[in-house]
Chains A and B, each alone.
Chain A
Amino acid sequence: EAGVTQFPSHSVIEKGQTVTLRCDPISGHDNLYWYRRVMGKEIKFLLHFVKESKQDESGMPNNRFLAERTGGTYSTLKVQPAELEDSGVYFCASSLQTSRLAGLQETQYFGPGTRLLVL
């Protein structure tokens, strides 16, 4: 079974440009999460999808970040325009959900991350 995949693995862009990150969850996983780690800090939650719906987007830093999950399969995270402080590693994770409560207790499986550098 394929794990969580993320594309690209690395991205270097200039301040003010747009970048779109993609995450493909494990097949059949309804829950999809985005996290990021900025330099020297712990990994922090950004948002949570259940299928195509945003369940919790309390961690999104500002309106320059837009996440979508059309059709409830893969997800994209767009940063527009990118700022220097957006540099870091963006992780995606997915988990199985058989019911809403059960889904909150399932193991989250992480992808390899996208390393974003904004110059």
Chain B
Amino acid sequence: KQEVTQIPAALSVPEGENLVLNCSFTDSAIYNLQWFRQDPGKGLTSLLLIQSSQREQTSGRLNASLDKSSGRSTLYIAASQPGDSATYLCAVNQGGKLIFGQGTELSVKP
């Protein structure tokens, strides 16, 4: 049974810092991995999708990597801003359905 774990559960950093969010999964038989952002009381915004054959994806200040064999993904946020404050979720796609981690709650202090 696939299990997705995100570490840390919460993170508070000062503005301008570079940071890394971690996601691990137990079963490497995945189609892809998606990183999402969720603001309080809102839906999920897709940030990056990495196909199982890819190693990384980049979008602006965000870079996500995938090491399928070790069951790990990282989301790197460069030069963090207060507007980056949100909960970040990773999810692996197995057979079309997404299996989510619990999320990392990020707070970026001005």
Q: Do A and B come from one complex?
A: yes
Give chain A's interface residues, CB within 8 Å of chain B: 4, 31, 33, 35, 41-45, 48, 55-56, 58-59, 91, 93, 103-105, 107-113
Q: How far is the CA of A74 from the CA of B15 in the complex (A)?
A: 42
Q: Report whether B96 and A31 are in contact in the complex, using a CB–CB cutoff of 8 Å.
A: yes
A-contacting 9-mer, from B19-27, B44-52, B62-70, B76-84: B44-52
Q: Report whether B89 and A104 are in contact in the complex, using a CB–CB cutoff of 8 Å.
A: no
**Cβ distance A36 to chain B, nearest Cβ, rounded Å:** 11
- Which residues of A lie under 8 Å from residue B96 when comparing CB positions? 31, 33, 48, 55-56, 103-104
Q: Report whether B102 and A42 are in contact in the complex, using a CB–CB cutoff of 8 Å.
A: yes
Q: Which of B31, B42, B96 has the most CB of A within 10 A?
A: B96
Please report the total number of B residues contacting A with Cβ < 8 Å. 24
B34 on the interface (CB 8 Å rule)? yes
Q: Report whether A107 and B95 are in contact in the complex, using a CB–CB cutoff of 8 Å.
A: no
Interface SS majority for chain B: strand
Which 10 pairs of residues, A with B, have the shortest CB-CB distance? A112-B43, A110-B44, A45-B97, A43-B100, A104-B96, A42-B100, A42-B102, A110-B43, A107-B49, A105-B31
Give chain B's interface residues, CB within 8 Å of chain A: 4, 31-32, 34, 36, 42-46, 49, 51, 89, 91, 93, 95-103
Q: How far is the CA of A42 from the CA of B46 in the complex (A)?
A: 17
Q: Report whether A104 and B93 are in contact in the complex, using a CB–CB cutoff of 8 Å.
A: yes
- Which residues of B lie under 8 Å from residue A31 when comparing CB positions? 96
Q: Which residue of the partner chain B has the closest CB to A58?
A: B97
**Cβ distance B4 to chain A, nearest Cβ, rounded Å:** 8
Q: How far is the CA of A93 from the CA of B43 in the complex (A)?
A: 10
- Which residues of B lie under 8 Å from residue A35 when comparing CB positions? 98, 100
Choose among B31, B43, B45, B103 the residue that contacts A42 (Cβ–Cβ < 8 A): B103
Q: How far is the CA of A110 from the CA of B46 in the complex (A)?
A: 8
